[in-house]
Amino acid sequence: MNTTRTATWSVSRPMIGALMALSVALLLLAGQARAELDAFYGSYAGSADVMALDGSKIPRDMSVVISGTKTGFQVQWTSVTYRSDGRTTEKSYTIDFVPSDREAVYAAAQKKNVFGHEVQLDPMKGEPYVWARVSRQTLTVYSLFVGADGGYSLQQYDRTLTEGGLQLRFQTIRDGAIQRAVETFLTKS
C-alpha cells in the first residue's frame, strides 16, 4: 500500500499581518540607510599640507566624488602631491560599496568572482581589504593591507558632513603607530 503524505501550511491572518509589518519595516530601514547615504552624494575638493616624516610640509590637493549606484554607492577620490623639486604625483581610486549583512556597514565590491558577483579583494595576497560605514554624519572608508611579514597598515578616511562640504580626516596606521594624519575641509561644488 502506497501512502503519500502532503504537508500543508496553515497561515493565520495575524501571522500574515506580522509578516507584512516586518516587510514594511525592512523596506523603511533600507530607505532610511539610502537617505543617510544620499546626504553624502556630491563632488568635493580642498587642499592640505601633509607633514612628512622629516617634519617638512608637502602640499596636497584632494577631491572626492560620492554617488549612488544600483546596488549601493561609489567613492572616487584623487590626491595630487606637489614635491619641493617640482615633481607632482597623482593617485586616483574608485571603489563601489554594497550593503553587508550589518546595518550601516558596506562591503567593497572590487572584483567579480567566477559567478559574476562582486566580492572583496584578498588581503592575504597583498590586496587591500576595504569596507565602509556610516555613523551619524560621518562616512568612513577603511583600507587594510597585510604585509609580507604579517604586519598591517590601515588607512582610514573619515568624511564628516558639515555646512558647505565635508571635513576630511585621513590617517595611516602601521602596526599600531600613526604614520600620517591629515585633516582638511573639502568644499562641495
HSE, side-chain direction, 13 A CA sphere, residue 135: 7
pLDDT digits (tens, 9 = 90+) for 92-103: 999 999 999 999
Whole-number Å distance between alpha carbons of 96 and 143: 13
State the chain's mean pLDDT as an integer. Answer: 83
Please name the amino acid found at residue 36: E
Residues 97 and 107: beta-carbon distance below 8 Å:
yes
Q: Is the pLDDT of residue 65 over 80?
A: yes
Look at residue 24 in the predicted model and tell me its pLDDT: 46
Look at residue 60 in the predicted model and tell me its pLDDT: 94
Please name the amino acid found at residue 23: S
Q: Is the pLDDT of residue 19 over 80?
A: no
